[in-house]
Amino acid sequence: MADQRLAGKVALVTGASSGNGRAIALRYAAEGAAVVCADIEPLPIQGSWEDPVPTHEEIERLGGRAAWAPCDVTDGAQVAAAVAQAVEVYGGLDIAVANAGISPKAHPLRDEPWEDYKRVQSVNVDGAWWTCREASRAMVDQGRGGSIVTLASIAGITGVQTGNHYNMSKGAVVQLTRTLAIELAPHMITVNAICPGWVRTAMTRDMWDEPDRLADLERRTPMARLGEVEDIAGAAFFLASDDARWLTGAILPVDGGYSAL
């Protein structure tokens, strides 16, 4: 099914139980990587249409190598433990994907609940910080380079109305990516961000489950369709592959042309 171009690599994917994270973990495993699937719960989130089988079990069923790591990315100790699990079980860490994120209901700033704002920053910003910090420590220590992929959003590079809390958090991920790319370049560790557009996941379901809203989203996207999780997984595979070995600090929109308007 794949060319096994990640054979011998070890990957950690946060938020791997559902959506983009699940698709990325499955793609990496199909390409031969051993994958640590880190998430709060092993099952896809409630409301997901995905097969209710934990990602690591699905990878094993398909003949790959995977393990689940219980991980709340707002807790640095849990992130460090997930990285340590990759090193101890599979012998190192070559790829880390800071994917875990949340997107509560959008409000005008004057009505945005403080609790929502703080929770979004804790998961989307602190979680990315912890993941990048612990992964980069492991990669520098082992001295064989590596790839870090962050999941930002078109909300981090455009004025799309998905909430001030969310847009601010994804803008922070973009800047973390650029800064860390420069810092880690001497260690041959690449750091790049994927900025998904409107992708069909359980987290965005309320935006596309209604025919009128779906039609509006498709109308505003030049390629006239929503993204699928496999579109994001394909970009994540490229960024982790040797084809991207001289690509770092890139902020890559995968959005059907939305951000080009």
Write out the catalytic residue numbers: 153, 166, 170
Coil, strand, or helix at residue 159? coil
Q: What is the DSSP letter of 240?
A: H
What are the CA-CA distances from residue 189 to residues 38, 52, 174 (Å)? 21, 35, 17
Q: HSE (CB half, 13 Å, CA atoms) of 132? A: 27
Rg (CA), the chain: 17
Sign of CA dihedral 221, 171, 121, 187: positive
Ranges of H-type helices in the chain: 19-30, 55-61, 76-90, 114-120, 127-142, 164-184, 205-208, 211-219, 229-240
**Among all chains, which residue has been given the structure tokens 């096994």?**
4
Measure the CA–CA gap between 23 and 127, rounded to whole angstroms: 20
**Among all chains, which residue has been given the structure tokens 């945005």?**
112
Which element (helix H / strand E) includes 231? helix 229-240
Measure the CA–CA gap between 153 and 64, rounded to whole angstroms: 29
